[in-house]
Amino acid sequence: MKHIEKEMVLLKNSVNDMWKLVISQLEKAKYAFLHKDIGCALEIVAKEKRVDAFELKIDSDGENYIALYSPVAIDLRLVLSLIKISNTLERIGDFAVSVARHVIEEDCNKVSETLIEDLRIEEMIETLIGMLSDAFVCLETENTTFVGKILSKDEEVNQIYRQAPEILTRHMSSHPEDIRCGLSLLLLIRKLERIGDHCSNIIEEIVFYVDAKVLKHGGKVKIDDKITP
């Protein structure tokens, strides 16, 4: 294997390791939220620096690769995509920490489980974990034929988010003691909705790398998995 190829493999491995860590952070965030586990939440916060360190390393390694080897075509697209994906993964990691801090602050420890079920937060986080995991497979296999199904999950997340204000308003009107918690939950759900947007951004970068197609600002993916420019 040539040195240039080894450098690319190392860069991809760093992104893969960061990706797995962020998925783990989301999974732990779901557990901490559902079980009000402060210990688990503190572990998420403690690992935030590892996520940040990955991003800095990938940024530096990617920039060095471009400076040293002047890649073109698909190699250049891959490096640029990996840098942008690492930036996006770092933002998703930040949102996982936001869930952890929500648990640590204990604003909603006494809220009814029925409200949490009505808000469908567990389903929301599960969908996000699925999106991020499927996107990982998409990059590993360089297969973009199923990106439409991944992007469609973002709309499922958006629907849950759009229903939340009405559910919370109805609950707080009869339980004014939960207003503080209700506002905190609304902010939390908004941050989860943003994770869905970031997952979609990752998919856009993968399509850019693999198919040299830009989905932003007018480019679309049909749900039947056919990509259109």
Tens of pLDDT, residues 34-46 = 999 999 999 999 9
Question: What pLDDT is recorded for position 221?
Answer: 43
Q: Is the pLDDT of residue 227 over 80?
A: no
Reported as a single tens digit per residue, the pLDDT across 17-38 is: 999 999 999 999 999 999 999 9
Cβ neighbourhood burial of 125 (10 Å; 0-12, 13-18, 19+): buried
**Cα-based torsion angle of the residue sequence 168, 164, 46, 34 in order, rounded to the nearest 10 degrees:** 70
How would residue 1 be classed by pLDDT, with cut points 50, 70 and 90?
low
146-162: average pLDDT: 95
Is the pLDDT at 183 greater than 50? The verdict is: yes
pLDDT reading at 217 higher than 80 = no
CA distance linking residue 42 with residue 195, whole number of Å: 20
In this predicted structure, the answer to whether residue 218 has a pLDDT above a threshold of 60 is no
- Integer Cα distance of 87 and 24 in angstroms: 17
Question: How far apart (Å, rounded) are the C-alpha atoms in residues 85 and 91?
Answer: 10
Give the whole-angstrom CA distance, residue 135 versus residue 204: 10
pLDDT, averaged across the chain? 92
Does the pLDDT value for residue 187 go beyond 50? yes
Find all residues with CB under 8 Å of 137, minimum gap 6, and list them: 143
Report the share of the chain in percent with pLDDT over 70: 93
Please check whether residue 104 is in contact with residue 41, taking contact to mean a CB–CB distance below 8 angstroms: yes
Confidence at residue 229, expressed as pLDDT on a 0 to 100 scale: 34
Strands annotated E in the chain: 220-221, 227-228
What mean pLDDT is predicted for residues 157-179?
96
CA dihedral 203, 205, 209, 215 (to 10 degrees): 80
